[in-house]
Each structure stands twice: as structure tokens, then as C-alpha cells.
Structure 1
Amino acid sequence: MQYPTRTSNAIALDALLVESAWEVCNQVGGIYTVIRSKVPAAVQGWGDRYCLLGPYFPQQAQSEFEPFDDIQLTLLSDPFAGAVRQMRQMGYDVQYGVWLVTGRPRTVLINPFQVYGHLGSIKSDLWHHHGIPTPDNDDLLHQVEAFGHLAKIFIEILTAEVVPPRRVIAHFHEWMTGVAIPDLRRDQVPAHIVFTTHATLLGRYLAMNDPNFYEHLMQVDWLAEARHFNIETAVSIERAAAHGSHVFTTVSELTVRECIYLLDRFPDAVLPNGLNIERFVALHEFQNLHKQYKDKINEFVMAHFFQSYSFDLDNTLYLFTSGRYEYHNKGFDLTLEALARLNYRLQQSGLEGNVVMFFITKRPFTSINPLVLQNRAILDEVRETCEAIQEQVGERLFYAAAAGTDHRLPDLSAMVDDYWRLRYRRTLQSWKTNALPSIITHNLIDDQNDDILNFMRRANLLNYQHDRVKMVYHPDFVSPTSPLFGMEYGQFVRGCHLGVFPSYYEPWGYTPLECIARGVPAITSDLSGFGDYVMQHVQDHEDKGIYVVHRQERSFHEAAEELTDMLWNFVLQNRRERIAQRNRVENSSELFDWKNLRVYYDRAYALALERF
């Protein structure tokens, strides 16, 4: 793909940038991470010429958005404030303030519900002018189309506020904000429009339902499939936005193919995603942090397994996968198959050590498994009892050492009161059991039809003592309020040894990138945008702790065997080799900093300014 040679500094001199996304101050999914993490680099490059635009949902926004009051808004002289004042004078509910994230960007939030009374005419215009149909009973589509109508008004007023030679670049992410683009073009609003699809909506649906998605891509009838999945309106909006933008972009070379065959437009640029790496830099303490959080995971593992049997935690590796519950797309199926093969290899090898594999995803559940919760509570009581005995013995041993003449170590058990002896014994008796440790931490609503659980049952991965790969399925997000882990997701990642994400369909893939940013090796696939980017741009990526499973033009079993080999080789590493690898992983994370990847966005903006 060709890019202009104009520099980002030249762009910033004569342009304003409005970046619109449904997840501005509204965390729903992965786009929130993209926008939020990119903000510091965008603010650094564009300064006060940068503004975010999103829908206003007070409950979601209240914890991370700080609006300017009326006096502040009156005093502000920037064009964004001027456009907001004009919209308010026209009677619109518009908020202008600061998103309370690193970089503190100027942010405009518009309430979509205020024009619900005009939905009939908005939907009618979309149909008559752009051929976009809208059903009557889909409130999300109503919100999206109402916001698009209001976003178009804001951009229209903003472009009128700007005095030439200044120009306005309007960058829309995903179909949910792209609905504004067709009307902006129809009314010839003088904005330079960029549209980014992070994953084509139809592509995600097809990949979940077709195991040969990539082979069938060229034969897809987009309209028939969109109607089949009942997403015709959203796909029509996405196509209209792609065709209406001056510059159409996507996030990886993999999604380029989707755009060509499902949206009928060849993207003008690929915009890879990054992270604000400074958030994760721990001033050379990431090894200490790994140990600190691994110790917390150790506590969970002891509570979960040691009531049935114990194993050496110093010779145990913690692996994990996480993400949206898409069994095939996220590669959960491939991961489970490789784990079953790894378990067999380890059993046959006679090598010492164990692997504990965590599946972190979100599934409907009724409660945490009471036995799992009880075991954690009893382990806490065991700790309290041991600490009380330790304190008592310590004091009495110190007195005996100071007062006695015998240099030999006295009988320490004689220094424990009968009360603590009895409590120690009863606590352990109430904890120990012959039952197998559960493979899942929660009670699922639909336990019998869960693909992950059913694979574990079929493969007999049920946490027997002789299993060398132990399974922990945690169908909820890791959070500090969880009584099982009591830590942030990022802390949990730091405490693990390896992230496993061999996706079948992943337009980009933040989960392996988040591992790299925290100094944790990760496995991705060449069917994820991140994996494809690594293969093209990162030399010796395996040496840097980034492993890529080859799934393109490979059978499921070939990919499973390659993933098994990767896991096997990782298990064979000694402690020194793993520490050295974590150092290399941490050093390579700078490659994915937004400060370095922002150049792709600026090139797209330069191209948009050349087209009108």
C-alpha cells in the first residue's frame, strides 16, 4: 500500500482531528483498549487539535469523564468548544470535558436518546438516500443511528467553525459510529473522512460458523449471509461507511481480504494496534512483580488442589488463555487439544513438574462453586492458624534461647498450646478430601452444553493426581473483588509464565500484546493480525518470547501438533532460561508502543487531506 511522504508534523499544523468511537468513555469491548491506550500518543502528536467524540451514557461515563461547567465552556476558545456551544444553543444535550485517562484528551459526548422522537425520519432518510433498512425493534440500532445523526451535525458545525487553511479530519471507528459518514458525504460537509473497521461484522459471524471460513471467503454473498445472521442493517452501515470514506483502513493484512470480499473496497492503509507501554514499565522490577503475583496465584492453586493432593509449586508452570467466549475463533479448541497431547507426553516422559492451565473468559453462571469458595476460606484459616503458632513458638523459643544454658534446639512442638494443636488438626481434617479438584470454579447456567467443559470430560482432563496438566476454568473476569484471586487481570498476567492465544479468527489480538507488555512470553497464530504483524516485522520473534502457530493452510491436527511442540519446548526450559527470555520479552515490548505505531495513523490522515 502506498502512503504519502508528508510528515505528521505537517499534518498537525493545518488540521484538527476528531476521532469517534462508540467506546469513548463507554467500555464495551476491545475498541475501548485501542482508543484509550492510543490517547497519550495522539495527544502528544496533535495537542489541543485533537478531540474524541462518542455517545453519552451517564452511568458509564460518570467514573471516567469530567465535564467542563458552563463558565469553563464559555471561556474556552478552541473550535471544539465553539461547536458544542452552538449545538447547545440549538437545544442539543452535548457534554464537553476531559476523559480521565493518561493524556486527558478533550472529549465530546452526545446523548443519542434526545432525538428518539425523530427516529422515523432518520431511518427513512437512511433507507431512501443510502438503501439502509432498519427494523423497528432493535434498540441498539436505534441508538447507533441516532448518534450518527448527531455526530454528523457536530462535524458539520465544526467544519463551519474552522477558518481556512485549517481543515478537519474525522476518523470513525467501526460501523457503530460510521453511520454518520454517508450523510456527511451526501451533504458535502468539508471534512476529510477516515473509516477503520477493526473486524468486519460479517467476517466475525462467518468465522464462528464456518470451519473453512478463509477458503470460502471469495464465494460469500454478503447480502444473503447478512440476512441469514440477521445483521443486514449493521453490515449495510459498515459497507456505506467503507465506501463513503476518503480513506478506508483496517487493522491487519489479514482483514484486508475480508474488506475486499465482504465490503467490496480495497483498504487504503493498514493501521496496526499498539499499547501505551509506559503504563506497564516497572523500572526493572518486572521480575520481582512476577514473583509477587505468582505467589498470589500459588495461594489459589494450594486452595484449589492441595485439599486433594499436593505437588511442588516451585516446579509448576502457570499458563493461561483469555478473551471473549468464542470457542473456535479464539482457538480454545486448539489449545485444549494441545494440552491433552502435552499431558500425555509429560506422563510418558517421566519428567518432574506440572502445568496449571487457566481458561479466563466470561460465561453465564449462577455462583462460585461453594466447595471452591469453602476451600479458599479454609486455606485462609490454615494460614491464620500457622501464623498464630509461629508467633507463639517464636516468642517462647526466643525466651528459651535467652534464658537457657543448653545450646541445642529445644522441642518446638512442646512450645505450642493444646488449643492451637487442636485447632490445627481440626482445620486440616475439615479441609482434606479424596474428591478430585474441580475443573471449573463456578456453577454454569448451561453446564452440559459448554464446549470447554465437554472437551475436558471427553479427553479425561479432570485433574487426577497423575495428570501433569491441571485445568482451571474460570468463567468470569479476574478482578480485585474476586474472593478466589483478589487481583487485577494485569497482575494475574504478570504472575503467569506463558499466555496461549492460537486464534483462528482474530483481526488484531490484544491479549498476546498485553502479555508482551508485561514481560510474559505469548503464543499467537498467523491467523491473528498481531501474529501476522510479528512475522513480518519482528526478527527472531521466538527468541523474544513471541511464538506464532501456523494455521494458514494447515489442518487442525497439524496446528495442534505444532502448538504441542511449542508448549513442550517451553516446559523443558529451566528457570534461568525462562528468566532470560522474560528479559528479552520485556525489552521487545517497545516495538509495540503507540509512539512508534502512531506513524501509520498519521500517514492515513495525510492521505485523507490529499483526497476530497
Structure 2
Amino acid sequence: MQTHSSAPDALFPDSLLIEVAWEVCNQVGGIYTVIRSKVPATMPAWGGRYCLLGPYFPQQAQGEFEAYDEEQLAGMNDPYAQAVRTLRSQGMDICIGVWLVTGRPRAVLINPFQVYDRLATLKSDLWRDHQIPAPDNDDLLHQVIAFGHLAQQFIETVARQTVDQWKVIAHFHEWMTGVAIPELRRRQVPAHLLFTTHATLLGRYLAMNDPNFYDNLMLVDWRAQARHFNIEPAVSMERAAAHGSHVFTTVSELTVRECIYLLDRIPDAVLPNGLNIERFVALHEFQNLHKLYKDKIHEFVMAHFFQSYSFDLDQTIYLFTSGRYEYHNKGFDLTLEALARLNHRLQQSGLEGQVVMFFITKRPYTSINPLVLQSRAQLEEVRQTCRAIEEQVGERLFYAAAASHDHRLPDLDSMVDDYWKLRYRRGLQSWKTSQLPSVITHNLVNDQDDDILNFVRRANLINHRHDRVKIVYHPDFVSTTSPLFGMDYGQFVRGCHLGVFPSYYEPWGYTPLECVARGVPAVTSDLSGFGDYVQKNVPDHEEKGIFVVRRQERSFDQAAEELTEMLWNFVLLNRRERITQRNRVESSADIFDWKNLRVYYDRAYALALERQ
């Protein structure tokens, strides 16, 4: 490791940076994307002075973490390796290695279960020293408390062993790691502490349960509400981290208000989230990818719908929404209302074409719907039959053309054997049905109480032939192992025409940003951090294919009408206009590249170094 980084954009050359997150080598939710995607922009500035710290869960880590062996560790003399050796000599189960992502950063993982025999003491210390309560029956809280204690020991060891050579910056993400902060302050550890809340825990619960969340924010009694939702220990940890850090940050201007009223501290800085934007040398390259993956979506749509009735795929627009299943918070309710209005408007208009809307989220299910799978298999059988006929006719046609003196096309029907004619006919007869295409692709554990299904039933938006907006509800993540799509989520996004994410509560919102990064237009809302950032920092954002539904201080009906209008205008675009729009989206993606957004983190670290 270089003691003083010589990288051209090296920052704070006398400092070490430890970034602490529950999702280091442990994919759970959105923080994983934040941390992982930021690494390639962080490494050039920090190099070997940068280290990630997280809990060690072998099942999660095995595919993306490569630990140093004893011999490698023995030969290393940097502060992180020295701290690991010290703690191992004291009996700690701790490992150091490389996170196998772009940038290959150093990572230290600590097994939280090793101190479970001391949980009672750790919990009583938390209450005595920081008034943080901890119940006996919550395993996630137990893991958090155990990891917080161990993380505090690691950071303290690094800081005390290097106190004359390095300044230590420790940056904690979310309440699950923030429990270490108050103890580091109590022990007066010489480290500069930052805490980032990506979404206040209480805010998420309140938004899901209060339609007037933003109006009532300043009236909230945090402790009473935390007890009501049974999350007082976690909220207490979040508040302790916010108040104990030298620099407190959040991810958007929207969450600043939440922090003020629910955590009682004004954030020192806003750190917007970015992505590691993959640039294409030629514009046609990502257009080719769009066509490639759109064709795969065509395959799914043919298997799902053409069994009952067909429509022109060349005049079909693919929309989608995705994310955690929070019906109100994620704006699924608003999206469905706008789709019902769009369906009516299209039916009245006489325009040609169809809209297929995909809902990609995660719900408990028992299995994929067998009829959906069977239809896919039967269509594949029809495809194989068509290929066999094509091959047979091709060979016979070529022979007939070479041998013939007649320039007219011969009777192709006579070139197909009776066997293949029969197989073709039987294949289609067994596949075709008079039943409507299913709205949902899986059998849910409890479909009677599912809000999406209940809406489409009430609105009678259940994939009738005359419906111009068709719904496909896929209650599982899209992956290459899925028998329905056979591609990963990023590829699916590329194949669609528009992402729709009009969230009611979204501290940042990666889903529209992931669309933009792949050259796909997206709808967001002014109640999402991303949408708020776009409104303030991206001039002519609609020209660049980023549409912001206004939901602040507006009724549900007004927002639904605005979203309907946006979707209607999008459907009216011709193919050339959509290609031009995708080009504009792709060219504007640089705005959200971590290389440009990292500066917000740099300023926060500079502020932390000023405070002790």
C-alpha cells in the first residue's frame, strides 16, 4: 500500500477512509448499489487508503469476496492489515480481502455471531451509556448490536495504531451500522465520523400509513410513533448515530425535512447518488442492444398473449415499473390509475397499437403459473415445427428452382410433408385458447389481498382483447435463470421503451436512474430525491427523456391526470422520435456518473476533517 497516494486526483493524502455499510459483500437492497457503483470513482482518489467494512455472512459473501490467506496477510504492513492482525491475536473472527467488483477495493468483514454470548452485556451497556433499548426477540437487532460493537473495535484499533501518521475518516451508512458511532464518541476515539441516512426508518413507515405524511411531518412525536410501529430500538440507534457523528448527511433535499423533524438534526450536507455509467463509443451500439432485448420481450409477449389473441408487435410499446412492493410509496397506485385512464383514452381515439405494462416486484408466491409456463413451452414447440418446415421447404425450393425452366414460384404447400402439416396443425390447436391471458405470471400466497390485483379486478383491466393497455404482473425479480424472460434486469430495462416510477415516498430512487444509464426514458416524481435533483440540476429534462410528475401539494387525481398525459404523449411518438429521445437520454446520463457526483462526498470528508 502507498503511504501517500500519488494518484493524479488523490484527495486528503494524509487520511484513511473506512466506509461502513451493512451491504458490503451482502446484497439486501439499494445501499448495495450505492456502495458498489461508487467504488470505481472512489478508488482513483483513495487507492489503498480506502477500506470497506461490513458484516460477514458466508452465503452472501462467497461469490464476491476473496479473503487474503495467512501468508498474504503476514506480508502486508498497511494500517488495515495491521489492525486485522491485532484483533485476530485477541481472538476476533475477522477477515480482510478484496471485494470482487469493478475497482477491486479492500474489504474487511467481521462475523457478528461471535459475540452472541455477550449480547446481554452489550445491550445493557447500550442502555446505560446511550439510552438505546433492545428487545430480546429481534435477531436483526442482535446482529446490528453485535456488529456495531465489533466495528467500533476495528475502527478504534486502526485509529489508535496510526494516530501519529494518519487521520481516520469513518463513514457509516444507515442505522444498521450507525450503532458504533455513539460508543466511538464516548471512548473519544481519534476518528472523524460521518453518518448518512438514505431514508429515515420512521419516515418510511409513516409514509406508508399516512396519506398526508408531508403535511403532518412537523407534528410527529417520534418516540410515540416509533413505539406504535414497534421500531423504537432501531429509530433510537438512527438518532444516536445522527447526533453522534461529526458530519450528518442524507441523500436528497427531500429527506432533509424528514431528518429535521424525525431525527432532530439538520443535515450538514446532501450526497446525491450516482451510477457507474457505462459509455458507448457509438450511439448505434445501445440502440442495437435495445432491439436485441426488445426481441426477447417480444418472445415472452407472444407466448403470454398470442395464445388468446394477437396484435402487431411493431406497434406495441413496453412500459415497466419495478422496486420494493410498497403499493402507495412506490406509486403503483398512481401508475395503475393512469394506465386505466390511458386505456380508455386509447380505446376512444381510434389510434392503432398496444401498450404492455410490466410490474416487476417481489411478493410471496408458491410457483410460476403452470398455464403460463405451458404456453411458453407449446409456443416453442410451434417454433421448432416452423423451423423444420422452413428447412424442408428451403431445400426443395432450391432444387426446384435449379431444375425448373418456369420462372414462377412453385406451390410451396406441396413441398411440406403431411407429417409436418399435421404437427403444425396439432401444435396450434393445442396451444390456442379462448381464455384471457393472465394478468399475473405466478400463483401468489395470498392473491385476495394483493393491491395490484384488486385494482385491475375493480377497473376490469384484465387483458381483454379490446383493452389497449395490457398488464403483466411479475411478482419476482427478473433474472437470467427465469424461465419466462431468460435475461437479467438490466437487459430487460434496455428492451423496454419507458420506465414509470411516480413515487410518493422515495428518498433517492435508483430505478429511474438505472433507466437513464441505459438510454431508456423514465418517469419519476418530485417526491423522489432523484426527481427533485433533476428539477433543480437538469435543464430541459423532458427534452432529455426524464419526466417528473408533480405530486407535492397536489391531489392524487391531479397527479394521475398529469401522468396519463405524459404516457399519452409518449405513446403518440413515432419510432424515429423514440430513437431520437433515447439518444438524448443516453447522452445526458453523464450528469449522474459517480465521477461527477463524488465531489459531494469529497466536500463532506473535508468538513469532517475540520471537526473533531
TM-score range normalised by the length of the shorter chain: over 0.9
Instruction: Indicate the SS of the match to 2:12.
Output: helix
**1:209 aligned residue:** 209
1:239-272 CA distance string (max 9 Å, x none)? 0000000000000000000000000000000000
Quote how far apart the aligned CAs of 1:118 are. Answer: 1.0
**1:44 aligned residue:** 44
Quote how far apart the aligned CAs of 1:9 are. Answer: 5.4
Instruction: Indicate the SS of the match to 1:285.
Output: helix
Structure 2 residue 72 is the aligned partner of structure 1 residue 63: no
Paired amino acid for 2:534: V
Cα distance change of structure 1 residues 281 and 562 upon mapping to structure 2, 3 Å threshold: farther
Structure 2 residue 317 is the aligned partner of structure 1 residue 344: no
In 2, distance between residues paired with 1:85 and 1:111?
Answer: 15
Instruction: Indicate the SS of the match to 2:321.
Output: strand
Is the contact between residue 321 and residue 359 of structure 1 (CA under 8 Å) also seen in structure 2?
yes
**2:191 aligned residue:** 191
Is the contact between residue 16 and residue 167 of structure 2 (CA under 8 Å) also seen in structure 1?
yes
**2:256 aligned residue:** 256
Paired amino acid for 1:534: V
1:66-88 CA distance string (max 9 Å, x none)? 00000000111110101000000
Instruction: Indicate the SS of the match to 2:278.
Output: helix
Q: Summarize the alignment of residues 217-236 of structure 1 with structure 2, pairs less than 5 Å apart.
A: 217-236=217-236
In 2, distance between residues paired with 1:310 and 1:59?
Answer: 45
In 2, distance between residues paired with 1:339 and 1:229?
Answer: 33
Structure 2 residue 277 is the aligned partner of structure 1 residue 307: no
Quote how far apart the aligned CAs of 1:332 are. Answer: 0.1
In 2, distance between residues paired with 1:99 and 1:604?
Answer: 24
Paired amino acid for 1:130: H
Q: CA RMSD in A?
A: 1.1
**2:4 aligned residue:** none
Cα distance change of structure 1 residues 250 and 322 upon mapping to structure 2, 3 Å threshold: same
Structure 2 residue 113 is the aligned partner of structure 1 residue 102: no
1:425-470 CA distance string (max 9 Å, x none)? 0000001111111111111110110000000000010101110000
**1:3 aligned residue:** none
Q: Summarize the alignment of residues 151-550 of structure 1 with structure 2, pairs less than 5 Å apart.
A: 151-278=151-278, 284-550=284-550
1:207-245 CA distance string (max 9 Å, x none)? 000011000000000000000000000000000000000
Paired amino acid for 1:470: K
In 2, distance between residues paired with 1:201 and 1:230?
Answer: 11
In 2, distance between residues paired with 1:557 and 1:360?
Answer: 24
In 1, distance between residues paired with 2:382 and 2:304?
Answer: 14
1:511-553 CA distance string (max 9 Å, x none)? 0000000000000000000000000000100000000000000
Quote how far apart the aligned CAs of 1:284 are. Answer: 4.3
> Which stretch of the first structure deviates more once superposed, 396-405 or 328-337?
396-405
In 2, distance between residues paired with 1:555 and 1:163?
Answer: 56
Quote how far apart the aligned CAs of 1:278 are. Answer: 2.4
Cα distance change of structure 1 residues 330 and 175 upon mapping to structure 2, 3 Å threshold: same
In 1, distance between residues paired with 2:9 and 2:609?
Answer: 13
Is the contact between residue 11 and residue 605 of structure 1 (CA under 8 Å) also seen in structure 2?
no
In 2, distance between residues paired with 1:49 and 1:56?
Answer: 21
Cα distance change of structure 1 residues 262 and 280 upon mapping to structure 2, 3 Å threshold: farther
- The structure whose RCO (Cα within 8 Å, separation 6+) is larger is 1
Is the contact between residue 251 and residue 271 of structure 2 (CA under 8 Å) also seen in structure 1?
yes
Q: Summarize the alignment of residues 560-575 of structure 1 with structure 2, pairs less than 5 Å apart.
A: 560-575=560-575
1:85-136 CA distance string (max 9 Å, x none)? 0000111000100000000000000000001111111101100000000001
Paired amino acid for 1:341: R
Instruction: Indicate the SS of the match to 1:76.
Output: coil
1:354-379 CA distance string (max 9 Å, x none)? 10000000001111111111100011
Quote how far apart the aligned CAs of 1:385 are. Answer: 0.6
In 1, distance between residues paired with 2:249 and 2:281?
Answer: 30
Instruction: Indicate the SS of the match to 1:12.
Output: coil
1:464-519 CA distance string (max 9 Å, x none)? 11100001000011111111111111000000000000000000000000000000
Paired amino acid for 1:96: I
For structure 2, which runs of at least 5 residues remain unmatched after alignment?
1-7
**1:117 aligned residue:** 117
In 1, distance between residues paired with 2:42 and 2:361?
Answer: 31
In 2, distance between residues paired with 1:30 and 1:223?
Answer: 26
Is the contact between residue 280 and residue 517 of structure 1 (CA under 8 Å) also seen in structure 2?
no
Paired amino acid for 2:375: N
1:532-591 CA distance string (max 9 Å, x none)? 000000010000000000000000000000000000000000110000000000000111
Is the contact between residue 220 and residue 262 of structure 2 (CA under 8 Å) also seen in structure 1?
yes
**2:609 aligned residue:** 609
Quote how far apart the aligned CAs of 1:324 are. Answer: 0.2
In 2, distance between residues paired with 1:440 and 1:139?
Answer: 34
Is the contact between residue 317 and residue 354 of structure 1 (CA under 8 Å) also seen in structure 2?
yes
For structure 1, which runs of at least 5 residues remain unmatched after alignment?
1-7
In 2, distance between residues paired with 1:12 and 1:280?
Answer: 33
Instruction: Indicate the SS of the match to 1:486.
Output: coil
Is the contact between residue 24 and residue 55 of structure 2 (CA under 8 Å) also seen in structure 1?
yes
In 2, distance between residues paired with 1:444 and 1:75?
Answer: 54
In 1, distance between residues paired with 2:393 and 2:162?
Answer: 77
In 1, distance between residues paired with 2:265 and 2:370?
Answer: 53
Aligned residues: 605
In 1, distance between residues paired with 2:300 and 2:450?
Answer: 24
Paired amino acid for 2:32: Y
Instruction: Indicate the SS of the match to 2:559.
Output: helix
In 1, distance between residues paired with 2:278 and 2:160?
Answer: 38
Is the contact between residue 343 and residue 468 of structure 2 (CA under 8 Å) also seen in structure 1?
yes
Quote how far apart the aligned CAs of 1:166 are. Answer: 1.9
Is the contact between residue 461 and residue 470 of structure 2 (CA under 8 Å) also seen in structure 1?
yes
In 1, distance between residues paired with 2:82 and 2:532?
Answer: 43
Is the contact between residue 12 and residue 49 of structure 1 (CA under 8 Å) also seen in structure 2?
no
Is the contact between residue 11 and residue 606 of structure 1 (CA under 8 Å) also seen in structure 2?
no
**1:33 aligned residue:** 33
**1:5 aligned residue:** none
**2:578 aligned residue:** 578
Quote how far apart the aligned CAs of 1:281 are. Answer: 7.6
Is the contact between residue 331 and residue 503 of structure 1 (CA under 8 Å) also seen in structure 2?
yes
In 2, distance between residues paired with 1:390 and 1:570?
Answer: 38
Cα distance change of structure 1 residues 70 and 602 upon mapping to structure 2, 3 Å threshold: same
In 1, distance between residues paired with 2:496 and 2:310?
Answer: 19
Quote how far apart the aligned CAs of 1:164 are. Answer: 2.8
Identity %: 80
Instruction: Indicate the SS of the match to 1:216.
Output: helix
Is the contact between residue 304 and residue 372 of structure 1 (CA under 8 Å) also seen in structure 2?
yes
Paired amino acid for 2:152: K
TM-score when scaled to structure 2? Answer: 0.98
Paired amino acid for 1:512: P
Paired amino acid for 1:577: E
Cα distance change of structure 1 residues 279 and 24 upon mapping to structure 2, 3 Å threshold: farther
Structure 2 residue 99 is the aligned partner of structure 1 residue 93: no
1:44-68 CA distance string (max 9 Å, x none)? 1111110000000111100000000
In 1, distance between residues paired with 2:512 and 2:296?
Answer: 22
Paired amino acid for 1:444: L
Cα distance change of structure 1 residues 283 and 583 upon mapping to structure 2, 3 Å threshold: closer
**2:598 aligned residue:** 598
Instruction: Indicate the SS of the match to 1:257.
Output: helix
Paired amino acid for 1:217: L
In 2, distance between residues paired with 1:439 and 1:140?
Answer: 36
> Which stretch of the first structure deviates more once superposed, 84-93 or 156-165?
156-165
TM-score when scaled to structure 1? Answer: 0.98
